[in-house]
Structure formats: structure tokens, C-alpha cells
Amino acid sequence: MFKRFVNLVIAIVFLSNLSVGQSVLIKGEVKGRPFEVVRIITYADNFSSLRTPVASVFTDENGKFSMKINAGQTQYAIVALELSEGGFYLKPGAEYDFTIFPDSLKGVSVFDIPPLAFDLKASDGGLNDKISEFNEVYNGFMEKNFSNGFPLNSKELILSFEDSVKNVFSGFNDEYFKNYVKYTLGQLEWYGKVKGSGTIMKYYFTGKPVVYGNIQYAVFFKEFFKEYFKRYLYGRYYYNFIDAVSKADYGSIDSLFKKDVNFKSHPRLRELVIINSLDILFHDRNFSKQGVLKLLEYLSRSAVYEKHRVIAGNYYKKLGNLLPGTPAPAFSLPLENGKKLDISRLKGKIVVLDFIKADCGYCLSQLDFLNDMQSRLGANVDIVILVYGKDASKVSLLLRKKNIDWPVLFIGKKFDVLDAYGVRVFPTYIIINPDGTIAEAPAPLADEDLEKDLRRIIFKIKMNERK
């Protein structure tokens, strides 16, 4: 039995080839929670971490559920109940039986959603049990020896730990598990300076196959080459990179990477590191976000390696989602009277979308702040409340008692709307421009800087109108 698997080294994996592969049965019970949505979520690939919901089902009157998906390779997936998630590993042809404990979600901060606790029985040859066992051993070792940094004797401690891991797990020959352990320990060797960057590069990456299908390889790859790029290329060719990104000139970027001997003769490695580095530059305020997106769009069509075209395309989707100036995701949701409100009808004013739950006390406490804020901003801003789950009518009643006339939209259990707007906690605020494009996502809380940001947006719009 896989007991309450919440202690992970890493988070989410790549579910590839959903339309092919072997069937996987996922079933179980959510204790005391009938008619709740249970979802399976994966990443489109291990590098971009683009979240991809792949299956969902309602529990029955007894809280039981069952669903099937296809899996072409061993992969890590997420089981989700509302916004709480827990991880497990899928193996083609296996069956998984969950007992989910929703009571573990009670009594916590609205901003501190804990991992979903569950028991798992899996006919997967012991893969989930072994990964859980290794994670417990690894995390225990790290907490005992390195909770305050790496001491001078780190090398001896790490090498001794690697020997013990080999002895304990030598009899389990699952390929995914072996790579999971290999690259977890490789990352530890790098952190603990058991091997220098040059040795790490040669031992794990240069001239070695890219292990696209293993999440721990991708985690190690991204962290190592983020540091490598910043240390050896970013500073040295800083202004060259700024110019190349602003012009979306991939050839110039490729030439800069070829100056490094570790990349010059390894085109597959170089191309993937460039894609990873574009993600880094996207989050650097000195670089053009549009330039990065144009480069990723180019690579999604023209990268030499097919897998890299997919990864670049996923980065493009992820980084471009909810950017200021992009169209707000469409929705059409019912009001209390049953009539539907389409997002297109909200054009003409700045709109604040407030995603909440009816049983979220903090969410309801924010309504007074929103009301006071709107009274100060006047007719410049409209507010729309979007309620997830049941009892949305309670929110409408509360607003009427406060003499607040805002539309209240009933999301129900439609996670597609939450996913489209990147809602991971309640409340979440999104600001929409009068033309129906994103102004800010997510926006600050109502009792923090939301009003400040709205005044900035109002001022910007007025300045543009005067031009």
C-alpha cells in the first residue's frame, strides 16, 4: 500500500501520447464527499511544465469514482480534488485504487493549500512504493545533514549516502525508477560540490541521451543549465542577448551558444538549453517578452528536433497565457436567475473578476473592501463575482443584504473556467481592460494593492485616449 503519498522530491510529469498506449484504470473513494469532481492532471512535457487536465469524473452518492486513460510510457500524474493535489506514478496497463482523505484540507489557510492525502493500492510492479520509499530516505538524509547548508564534509556524506542507496535499491530494476534515482543523486552531487560543473556536464549531459520522459532528469537539467547559462553566458554576452531577443534573431542566439565548447559540437543539447534559457530571459525585466515569444513560436515550427518543437510550443502557450494585452479567455456562465452572462458583454469598462467559494470566509470578508474601493473609483470599474461550487446563491443573498449590485456568476464544478484563468487559490482577482484584454492576472488582493493597480490602469487608459 502506498500510504498518503505527499512527500515528493519533485512534482509533476509528462503524460505523452494520450491517444495511444495501454489503458490505465483509476478508481477509488473520496471519504464523505459525494458528487465531487476528481481530476487527473499532467504536464504536456517535463520541461515547460504546461499543465494539462486529461480526465475528470464526479464521485457517486457514496463518494466512489472510476475513470480510464491511456498511457504510452511510465509517467507522473496528479490526482486533484478541488484545488488540492497529490502525486502518483502511472504505468501503462496498471490499475490504481485511491482512498482520498478530504478532511486533511480543513483548518488551513486559504493561501496554504496542502497536498492531497490519500492511500493508494497500485498494480504497478511496486513503482509507487519504491519511489515513495526512496523519497523518504532522500528527504530524511537531506533534513538530517543539510537543513542549514552544505558543510565542509559534504562530499564524504554524499558518497556514503549514494553507496547506501545502491545497496538498498539495487534489486529493483524498473528503468524509470533507476533514472529517477540517478538524476536525483546527480543533482545532489552538484549541490554538494562532489563534482564540479564541468564534470557534471560531461557525466550527465554532454554527448549523453536526453531523457525526455523522466521528470527528475528534466528538473536536474533545468536547474543546472539555468545556473550554467547565468554564470558563463548571460553576463559575458548580455547586450548581445538583449539585441538578439529584441529582434527575435535565433541565428544570433545560436551563434552565441556555439562560442561555448560544451555546446558547439552537441546540437541537440544546445537547442534544448536555448529553449530553457528563453524561459529564463522571459522572466528578466530587461528582455523583451514579445521577442522571447516570437523565438519560441519560431522554434515550435523550425527546431531541428521534433521533441524540441513540441517543448517550444508548450513554453509558448504557457508563457503567453494571460499576458497583458492578450484576449481574456471566453466564458458564458449563469446568473442566479438562470440567464447567462457572456464575457463579451463586459466590454466597455475595466472589470475585476473575483473568483471565490461560498464557504471561504476570507473571500467573503473581501467583499466589503471591494465595495469601498469601487465607491472611490466610481463608474470606472465594474466588479463581477464568480463562485465555484455549490451554494453560490448564498453569495447573491449576502450582496443583496449589503445593497451591493454586482453580477454573481455560478461556475459550479467547471474547472475549465478556473484553469483558463489560472485560479489556484480562492480568492483570485483578474483585471480585464475595456477592450476585453487582460490587464493583470493575477491581481493583488482587495485589502492590499488592488486599488493601487486599478488606478494605474485607469491612468494609463486615459493617457492613451489623449494621444
Q: What is the maximal distance between C-alpha atoms in the chain?
A: 73
pLDDT of residue 147: 84
Is the pTM value of this prediction over 0.95? no
Whether 458 and 434 have beta carbons less than 8 Å apart is answered as no
- Would the pLDDT of 340 be above 50? yes
Is a pLDDT exceeding 90 seen at residue 442?
yes
In this structure, the number of other CB atoms found within 10 A of the CB of residue 159 comes to 12
How many Å separate Cα 430 from the centre of its chain? Answer: 18
pLDDT at residue 375, as a whole number: 93
Predicted confidence at residue 105, as pLDDT, reads 54
- The mean-pLDDT minimum among 21-30, 49-58, 389-398 falls in 389-398
pLDDT bucket at 465, cuts 50 / 70 / 90: confident
**Mean pLDDT, the chain, whole residue set:** 91
Mean pLDDT, rounded, for 298-311: 98
Mean pLDDT is highest, among 26-40, 69-83, 297-311, 341-355, for 297-311
Q: What is the pLDDT of residues 166-222, one digit of tens each?
A: 999 999 999 999 999 999 999 999 999 999 999 999 999 999 999 999 999 999 999
Predicted local confidence at residue 5, as pLDDT: 41
State pLDDT tens for residues 401-416.
Answer: 999 999 999 999 889 9
Q: For the segment 114-172, what is each residue's pLDDT rounded down to a tens digit?
A: 789 999 999 999 999 999 999 999 999 999 998 888 887 789 999 999 999 999 999 99
More confident residue, 148 or 249: 249
Residue 392, judged by CB atoms within 10 A of its CB (0-12, 13-18, 19+), counts as buried
Interaxial angle between packed helices 250-258 and 238-246, expressed in degrees from 0 to 180 and rounded to the nearest 10? 160
- What domains does the chain contain, in order, with CATH numbers? 2-124 (2.60.40), 134-320 (no CATH), 332-466 (3.40.30.10)
What number is the average pLDDT over the span 43-50? 94
Extract the C-alpha cell encoding 120. 493508494
- Residue 12 CA to residue 6 CA, distance in Å, equals 12
C-alpha cell read off for 164 = 547506501
What 158-162 contacts at long range (C-beta under 8 Å, 24+ apart), as own/partner pairs, is: 158/188, 158/189, 158/192, 158/194, 159/194, 161/188
Q: Is the pLDDT of residue 14 over 80?
A: no
- Residue 114 pLDDT: 76
